């Protein structure tokens, strides 16, 4: 990666090499058009279109009324830690100690803490392509080197052999993300275990980003790395999030589950940067894990219906090829069949959709997968149908 040159500000080497978020850029483009009164179909969002469930909001209101508005321990309140531990015990039969759990400002901060407390210049960090845009940037910030594993040959589902081939004596860490943003693909549990066994043999650390943990549609099954036996979790950090599951993106609540020494080091990073996650959000998150889960079930069923409709519809779009994603809320079609004439890259196709059809999709190149686009179905079925009509008009023209 080359360093961005700035004449007006003496940016540090590590931050200078970082790229601004391409997914946020798509959000801003949609916002600008909407402000002009244009009827935009926004298939860009990386966040649920549902409101935060009422019981969670009420817990926050009560916390506010009761004056729970002060600093908490950096790792979060005892109640939050207990809620996280209890959730993993009930759902996955996994036991964690308080010293292995910390609350964070979103899953993003958990990943940030985990990477910067472990990695430095000279270390290689394996990142699976296509990847969530933030992974390589955090690695770069830490001064380490991202090394990419391309998974196109296996339909974007990581295999243990691919990990084995990519490990070198400098490999310190791998970042896993299943269900994946952007592909929506899920690593089957048996394969996930084989991957961790390979890592364990080679003494490589792993972050399992489980931000979309519950977004798995039958027959695929919800799977957490927490179900692995303790010996396979010795170098594993789970990064979790309340953002997507409970439609809480703005509350900024996530958590990390890791061996106690890793947590101790992460607490130093967080303690000297942001300190505790917002106290009121912690009470909301505590209710999210302890309270009724019906709203989650309802939201997941709605996502499943949209996915089923969307994938079938995208398979009919000329020049598109789309596999069925088992999880998350994204479709990630291969659009190379449309890139033969007027438009040469997926970025140009995304630009054309925005300019000519006022439809926002995210260019796959930002996720390390040129030739693909990400379509979010965290939007109503009506808008999805309108979006696919607009995409089809452009695709028909490009494939004529």
Ligand X SMILES: Cc1ncc(COP(=O)(O)O)c(C=O)c1O
177 binds ligand X (CB under 6 A): yes
What is the spatial distance between Cα 317 and Cα 391, in angstroms, rounded to a whole number? 8
Which is nearest to 156 in space by CA: 132, 186, 176?
A: 186
What is the spatial distance between Cα 171 and Cα 199, in angstroms, rounded to a whole number? 10
Instruction: Compute how many other C-beta atoms are within 10 angstroms of the C-beta atom of residue 40.
Output: 22
251 binds ligand X (CB under 6 A): no
The one among 88, 132, 303, 332 contacting ligand X by CB under 6 A: 132
Q: Characterize the bridge pairing of strands 171-177 and 330-331.
A: unpaired
User: How many chain residues bind ligand X (CB under 6 A)?
Assistant: 13
Piece of the chain touching ligand X by CB under 6 A; list 63-71, 106-114, 223-231, 381-389: 106-114
224 binds ligand X (CB under 6 A): no
What is the spatial distance between Cα 215 and Cα 392, in angstroms, rounded to a whole number? 27
What is the spatial distance between Cα 301 and Cα 9, in angstroms, rounded to a whole number? 49
108 binds ligand X (CB under 6 A): yes
Residue by residue, DSSP assigns 72-141 as --TT--HHHHHHHHHHHHHHH-----GGGEEEESHHHHHHHHHHHTT--TT-EEEEEES--THHHHHHHH
- Contact (CB, 8 A) for 243 and 38: no
The one among 53, 76, 107, 319 contacting ligand X by CB under 6 A: 107
The one among 72, 243, 295, 362 contacting ligand X by CB under 6 A: 243
Q: How far is the CB of 176 from ligand X (least distance, A)?
A: 10
Instruction: Compute how many other C-beta atoms are within 10 angstroms of the C-beta atom of residue 134.
Output: 19
Closest CB to ligand X among residues 252, 358: 252
Cα 336–Cα 314–Cα 356 angle in degrees, nearest 5: 70
Q: How far is the CB of 178 from ligand X (least distance, A)?
A: 10
Closest CB to ligand X among residues 181, 346: 181
DSSP three-state, residue 373: strand
Closest CB to ligand X among residues 52, 177: 177
Closest CB to ligand X: residue number:
106
Binding mask 179-218 for ligand X (x = CB under 6 A): --x---------------------------x-x-------
Q: How far is the CB of 151 from ligand X (least distance, A)?
A: 15
Q: Which of residues 329-388 bind ligand X (CB under 6 A)?
A: none
Q: Which of residues 44-103 bind ligand X (CB under 6 A)?
A: 46
What's the burial of 12, exposed, middle or buried (CB within 10 Å: 0-12/13-18/19+)? Answer: exposed
Closest CB to ligand X among residues 195, 211: 211
The secondary structure of residue 395, as a DSSP letter, is H
The one among 103, 130, 254, 325 contacting ligand X by CB under 6 A: 254
Q: How far is the CB of 240 from ligand X (least distance, A)?
A: 8
Q: How far is the CB of 330 from ligand X (least distance, A)?
A: 9
Where along the sequence are the contacts to ligand X (CB under 6 A)?
A: 46, 106-108, 132, 177, 181, 209, 211, 241, 243, 249, 254
């Amino acid at each position: 990666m080359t360093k961005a040159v700035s004449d007006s500000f003496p940016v540090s080497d590590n931050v200078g090499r970082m790229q601004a978020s391409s997914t946020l850029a798509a959000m801003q483009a949609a916002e600008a058009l909407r402000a002009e009164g244009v009827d935009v179909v926004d298939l860009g969002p990386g966040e649920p279109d549902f409101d935060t469930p009422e019981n969670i909001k009420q817990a926050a209101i009560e916390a506010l009324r009761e004056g729970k508005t002060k600093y908490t321990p950096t790792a979060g309140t005892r109640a939050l830690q207990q809620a996280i531990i209890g959730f993993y015990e009930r759902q996955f039969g996994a036991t964690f100690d308080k010293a292995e759990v910390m609350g964070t400002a979103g899953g993003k901060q958990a990943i940030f803490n985990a990477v910067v407390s472990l990695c430095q210049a000279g270390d290689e960090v394996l990142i699976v392509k296509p990847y969530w845009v933030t992974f390589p940037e955090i690695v770069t910030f830490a001064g380490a080197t991202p090394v990419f594993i391309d998974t196109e040959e296996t339909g974007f589902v990581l295999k243990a052999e691919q990990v084995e081939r990519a490990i070198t004596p400098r490999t310190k860490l791998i970042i896993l993300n299943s269900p994946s943003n952007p592909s929506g693909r899920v690593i089957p549990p048996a394969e996930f275990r084989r991957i961790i066994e390979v890592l364990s043999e080679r003494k490589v650390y792993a972050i399992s980003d489980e931000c979309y943990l519950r977004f798995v549609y039958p027959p695929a099954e919800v799977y957490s790395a927490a179900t692995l036996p303790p010996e396979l979790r010795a170098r594993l950090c789970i990064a979790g999030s309340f953002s997507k599951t409970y439609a809480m993106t703005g509350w900024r609540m996530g958590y990390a589950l890791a061996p106690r020494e890793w947590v101790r080091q992460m607490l130093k990073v967080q303690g000297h940067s942001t300190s505790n996650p917002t106290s009121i959000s912690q009470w909301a998150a505590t209710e999210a894990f302890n309270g009724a889960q019906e709203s989650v079930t309802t939201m997941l069923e709605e996502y499943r219906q949209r996915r089923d409709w969307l994938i079938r519809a995208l398979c009919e779009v000329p020049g598109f090829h789309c596999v069925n994603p088992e999880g998350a809320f994204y479709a990630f079609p291969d659009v190379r069949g449309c890139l033969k004439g007027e438009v040469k890259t997926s970025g140009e196709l995304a630009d054309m959709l925005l300019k000519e059809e006022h439809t926002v999709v995210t260019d796959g190149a930002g996720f390390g997968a040129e030739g693909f686009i990400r379509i979010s179905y965290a939007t109503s079925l009506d808008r999805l149908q309108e979006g696919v009509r607009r995409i089809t008009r452009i695709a028909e023209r490009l494939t004529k």
